[in-house]
Amino acid sequence: MNRNIFARLSGTQRSLVALLASAAMLTAGCANMATVPSNVDSLHSNATLSGKVHGGNQPVSGATVNLYFSGQADNSVATLAASTTTSNDGTGSFSFTANASSPDDGSTNTFSCPTNVGSPLVYVVAKGGNTLNNGDSSVNNSAAAFIAVYGLCDTLTNGSFVDMTELSTVATVAAVQQFFDPSNDSISFDGIGQEYHAVANIPNTIALMVNFSTGTGVNSTVIPAASGNGVSTVSVTATPEASKINTIADAISACVNNASSSANACNTLFASALPPSTSVTNPVSGANFPPATDVVQATYYILSNPTNGNTTNLQNIYTLATGVGAPYQPTLVTAPSDWTIAINYSSLSNCGTNSGGFISSPYDINIDGSDNVWIANSQASGNLSELTKAGAAGACVSLGNGGSNGSTIDTAGNVWLATASNHIYRYNPNGTVTDFPTSVAPLAVTADGLGNVYFTSSSTSSLYEIPGAATAATAVTPVQISSVVGPNPIRIMPDYQGNATQSNIWVSSGAGYVAEVSPGTSGPNPLNGFSTTTYPIGHDAYGLAVTSGGDVVVSSQGSDNYLIYLSKANSYNELWTSASGFGGINTPTGISLDGRGNIWVPNNTNVSGAIGSVSEVSANGTALSPAGGFQKSSSYFLSGRASAVDQVGNVWIVGDGANSITEVVGAGVPVYQPFSQGLSNGRFQTIP
């Protein structure tokens, strides 16, 4: 049976303890991991945080356990708050005590939640100790290391508990990897603004992969609806790649279950888990990454460089997981294409006034400023659905008929949906809908940083502007501003010209060029105050994304399987064009960029009937995904249609005909969302 997490009833951050208190279906793992019951009292003087450290089949004694604060408003660097060691009592237990007079410097096992710099994220790292359970205090495996998150300090309760295992380590590192510094095994992030609120949700994501109160894995979670518009009967099932998580946990367990870090399993693990290039990751650390010397570092390298540099290294890590007595089951039956970890969110619930599906053939996807996910479904009922950052159904609104096309989010936080029935709708998350009738069937839609909204139509090869649409009290008549943007202008995006300067609008034509529609009439093809310049790309254009510096990336249409990169500095001539099928590109569709400009490509053609894929290419044209792409079963990737990267680096993929969407946990570099607000404040396509 699945488990219901009632603490996930809204997108606001919840106590990790409350999340983990409900029943779960758990994968087989280490034995003797009893749950310590949680007290509902909030932290007070003499309240305790506690836990156990359990490596593979054995409790770990004598490990150093450090408690850290991260994300304080005055300091993005993690600070040591308290320290202790695990006991030699056969359970590997430890505890910390809240004390208002605590120095919070790591000199004792006491701490206090800060009151003047915001509530930090509280996490623990355990290192070293005897992993053999033989009571010998002289044994110390310095390669043994574990990490777990308690949650925001002001959400913790007396009795908050974590069971630190290899599984909890893998799940934690997956979720926090874009904020993890392997040089010192720390988590660092900005304690102010949107990044803080996005990171505050990370404990919710971890809880979908592992139960911290027992240290064991989660097969699936049924998440009831949040208190939103039209979703009272909607539930969502979150299903992680449990077998892959188990496999990684078993691989690092092979090193942990030894007397010292010089064991063959540790040598193999550290030699095979190659660090990623710092040019394609979130620059938490300024230097190149050091070789791994403990399993937390190795886990980070496995997840952030998920092909391990070559197939030999990947196979070596997989082989480590297949040893006799591997504690976490079931595991993958063969080595994977990569080590990325995904969570699939599925729903067969109906909602909206036309009783369409909450998720049904999603066509487009957007991320709002709170990291909620907005889904434009292409079913006939035209539902616009919100999946909160906590994974619950947050809204479901039936907007017109004929199915949904493109969608976007404007500077005021309104969500826009283009339908095939000559209407564009503006939905305010407070529940207000405004209908903007159009004379043509809208296809793609986007918003700039000044409150204007734009849409294309294939029937007229045109681009239209709705001036001041974000704040208009009533519907505004669209203005045609170009009639030469192409026969299938399916993707559009603004560029950044300045916080208060109107953007150029870039259009993917469906033909062998892209179009730039600019304010002013001095350029070619003038129409109603705008001019249109076209740039040849040698392939029929489909997906399109604009970088923070104004470069343009285009994916080819159909089975051409190319990416084309146009350089602003080179007058939008091609800087590079990928080889066909580069990085597993296979009928690319709606591409997106992460905070380092890495290009994420959903592939519409599956590797096979049961396997789909996503590709990743760096901004300089280096393939980051293997030859067949990052591959997953069709339960996760099915005929990819669109993608988006959120503010903690999760990569979201939607596919044709599916009743689900998929989150690739922490795989991309965080990017400021929504991009329209980034245009208005200078944060367009940058790391939050």
Kindly give, in sequence order, each residue whose CB lies less than 8 Å from that of residue 219, ignoring residues fewer than 6 positions away: 2, 25, 26, 27, 239, 240, 242
| Residue type present at position 10 | S
**What pLDDT, on a 0 to 100 scale, did the predictor assign at position 352?**
80
**What pLDDT, on a 0 to 100 scale, did the predictor assign at position 609?**
80
Query: Which three-class secondary structure state does DSSP give residue 97?
Result: strand
Kindly give, in sequence order, each residue whose CB lies less than 8 Å from that of residue 418, ignoring residues fewer than 6 positions away: 404, 405, 406, 407, 424, 442, 443, 444, 445, 455
Nearest to 207 by CA among 391, 1, 394: 391
pLDDT at 244 over 80: yes
**What pLDDT, on a 0 to 100 scale, did the predictor assign at position 285?**
65
| Residue type present at position 227 | S
**What pLDDT, on a 0 to 100 scale, did the predictor assign at position 172?**
99
Per the listing, tokens 């299903």 go with 239
pLDDT at 4 over 50: no
Q: What is the pLDDT of residues 432-487, one digit of tens each?
A: 999 999 999 999 999 999 999 999 999 999 999 999 999 999 999 999 999 999 99
pTM for the whole structure:
0.93
Residue-by-residue DSSP string for 396-462: EEE--SS-EEEEEE-TTS-EEEEETTTEEEEEETTTEEEEEE-SS----EEE-TTS-EEEEETTTTE
| Residue type present at position 54 | H
Q: What is the mean pLDDT of residues 200-208?
A: 96
Q: What is the pLDDT of residues 275-304, one digit of tens each?
A: 999 999 988 766 689 999 999 999 999 999
- Binning the chain into helix, strand and coil, the percentages to the nearest 5 are 15, 35, 50
Q: What is the mean pLDDT of residues 663-687?
A: 98
Q: Do the beta carbons of residue 68 and residue 79 sit within 8 Å?
A: yes
Which residue ranges form the domains of the chain, and what is each CATH number? 3-227 (2.60.40.10), 342-681 (2.120.10.30)
376 membership: H or E segment, kind and range: strand 373-377
More confident residue, 347 or 191: 347
**What pLDDT, on a 0 to 100 scale, did the predictor assign at position 45?**
56
**What pLDDT, on a 0 to 100 scale, did the predictor assign at position 658?**
83
Nearest to 394 by CA among 365, 426, 366, 358: 358
Query: Which three-class secondary structure state does DSSP give residue 644?
Result: strand
- Widest Cα–Cα separation across the chain: 82
Predicted confidence band of residue 101 (pLDDT cuts 50, 70, 90) = confident
Q: What is the mean pLDDT of residues 27-36?
A: 33
* Pairing status of strand 93-98 against strand 216-217: unpaired
Q: What is the mean pLDDT of residues 585-602?
A: 97
Q: What is the Cα–Cα distance from 501 to 448, expressed in whole angstroms?
A: 10
**What pLDDT, on a 0 to 100 scale, did the predictor assign at position 46?**
62
Predicted confidence band of residue 115 (pLDDT cuts 50, 70, 90) = confident
Q: What is the Cα–Cα distance from 81 to 101, expressed in whole angstroms?
A: 12
618 membership: H or E segment, kind and range: none
Q: What is the Cα–Cα distance from 287 to 168, expressed in whole angstroms?
A: 27
Residue-by-residue DSSP string for 621-632: S-B-S-TT-EEE
**What pLDDT, on a 0 to 100 scale, did the predictor assign at position 402?**
66
Backbone angles phi, psi at 50, to 5 degrees: -145, 180
Nearest to 622 by CA among 670, 564, 583: 583
Average pLDDT over the chain, rounded to an integer:
90
Q: Do the beta carbons of residue 191 and residue 72 sit within 8 Å?
A: yes
Token pair belonging to 102: 């605590």
More confident residue, 284 or 206: 206
Q: What is the Cα–Cα distance from 583 to 267, expressed in whole angstroms?
A: 30
Distances (CA, A) of 238 to 40, 209, 343, 499: 26, 9, 6, 39
pLDDT at 25 over 80: no
Token pair belonging to 314: 């990947």
pLDDT at 687 over 90: yes
Distances (CA, A) of 594 to 105, 509, 608, 649: 36, 23, 27, 7
Which of the 8 DSSP states describes residue 274? P
Q: What is the pLDDT of residues 177-189, one digit of tens each?
A: 999 999 999 999 8
**What pLDDT, on a 0 to 100 scale, did the predictor assign at position 9?**
36
**What pLDDT, on a 0 to 100 scale, did the predictor assign at position 12?**
36
More confident residue, 550 or 23: 550
More confident residue, 404 or 595: 595
Which of 14-23, 232-241, 312-321, 679-688 has the least mean pLDDT? 14-23
**What pLDDT, on a 0 to 100 scale, did the predictor assign at position 75?**
65
pLDDT at 47 over 80: no
Q: What is the mean pLDDT of residues 362-382?
A: 92
Q: Do the beta carbons of residue 112 and residue 99 sit within 8 Å?
A: yes
The neighbouring-strand residues paired with 373 are: 367, 387
